[in-house]
Chain A
Amino acid sequence: MNHSLSFSYQLAIVLVMVVIGAIAGIYLPWYALGILFGLLAYILRIPTGRAFILGLVSGFLLWAISAFWMDGQHPSSLPGRMANLFPLGGSIIGLYAVTGVLGGLTGGLWAWAGAKLRFK
Chain B
Amino acid sequence: MKYIKSIFPLALAIIWTYALHNSWGTLPPLGKLMSPFHGFWVNAEAPESSELTEENLQIPGLEKTVTVVYDEMGVPHVFAENDHDLYVAQGYLTAKDRLWQMEFQTHFAGGRISEIVGEKGMVSDQFQRRMGAVYGAEKSFEGMKEDPKATETLQAYSDGVNAYIESLTERNYPLEYKLLNYAPEKWTPIKSALFLKNMSFVLASGTDDLKMTNILRKYGKAVAEDLFPNYPFVESPIIPVGTPRDFKPVPIPESPTDFIGLGSAMKTPEKDPNIGSNNWAVSGNKTVSGLPMLANDPHLTLSLPSIWYQMQLVAPGVNVYGSTMPGTPNVIVGFNKNVAWGVTNVGSDILDWYQVKFKDASKAEYWHDGKWKKTTMRIEKFNIKGKESFVDTIFFTHHGPVVYLSHEKPFKSNIPVGHALRWIAHEKSQELTTFYKLNRAANYADYTQALTYYSAPAQNFIFASNQGDIALWVNGKFPLKSYTQGKYLLDGTDPKADWTGFIPQSHNPHAKNPVRGFLSSANQSSADPSYPYYMGWQYAPSERGRRINERLEAMSKITMDSLRGLQNDNFNIRARTLLPLLMAKLKSPTGGVYAQAANELKRWNLQNAADSQGATIFENWVSLLHDAIWSDEFAADENAPMNSPSVDRTIKMMQDEPNAIWWDNVKTKNKKENMEEIISASFKASIDTLVKKHGPIGSEWAWYKHKQTGVRHLIPGMDALSRLNIPTGGGGTIVNATTTKTGPSWRMIVELSKEGRPKAHGVYPGGQSGNPGSAHYVDLIDTWAKGELRSLLYLDKPEDATGRLRKKIILSIKK
Contact = CB atoms under 8 A, between A and B. Distances in A.
Interface in A42-101: 63, 66-67, 69-71, 73-79, 81-82, 84-85, 87, 98-99
Given A70-B41, A76-B44, A120-B2, A113 B12 contact: yes
A115 B7 CA distance: 10
Interface residues of B, number: 41
B10 A77 contact: no
B43 interface: yes
B3 interface: yes
B6 A30 contact: no
B250 interface: no
Given A70-B41, A70-B42, A78-B43, A30 B32 contact: yes
A103 B12 CA distance: 15
Contact of B772 (A30, A78, A102): A78
Interface stretch (A1-9, A11-19, A104-112): A104-112
Contact of A76 (B5, B10, B13, B773): B773
Interface string B361-388: 0000000000000000000000000000
B16 interface: yes
Q: What does DSSP make chain B's interface, helix, strand, loop or mixed? A: helix
Given A76-B44, A116-B9, A117-B7, A29 B772 contact: no
A78 B36 CA distance: 13
A63 B35 contact: yes
Contact of A34 (B2, B17, B36, B773): B17
Interface of B: 2-3, 5-10, 12-13, 16-17, 20-21, 30-32, 34-47, 175, 718-721, 772-775, 777
Interface residues of A, number: 42
8 contacts: A30-B39, A71-B44, A74-B46, A75-B46, A106-B16, A110-B13, A117-B10, A120-B6
Nearest to A84: B720
B45 A26 contact: no
Contact of A102 (B34, B42, B47, B718): B34
B46 A31 contact: no
A64 B732 CA distance: 48
Q: What does DSSP make chain A's interface, helix, strand, loop or mixed? A: helix
Contacts of A99: 34, 36, 41
A22 B37 CA distance: 8
Contact of A109 (B12, B41, B721): B12
B9 A31 contact: no
A25 B35 contact: yes
Contact of A73 (B17, B30, B46, B774): B46
Contacts of B774: 76
A90 to B, nearest CB: 9
A34 to B, nearest CB: 6
A78 B13 contact: no
A74 B17 contact: no
A102 B35 CA distance: 8
Contact of B45 (A67, A76, A106, A116): A76
A115 B13 CA distance: 12
Contact of B10 (A85, A103, A113): A113
A78 B9 contact: no
A63 B30 CA distance: 13
Given A75-B44, A105-B16, A106-B31, 20 more contacts: A22-B37, A30-B32, A30-B37, A31-B17, A63-B36, A70-B36, A74-B44, A75-B47, A76-B44, A76-B46, A78-B41, A78-B44, A81-B772, A99-B34, A103-B34, A106-B20, A110-B17, A112-B9, A113-B9, A119-B6
Contacts of A31: 17, 20-21, 31
A108 to B, nearest CB: 9
Nearest to A75: B46
Contacts of B721: 81, 85
A26 to B, nearest CB: 6
Nearest to B8: A116
Contacts of A75: 44, 46-47
B40 A78 contact: yes
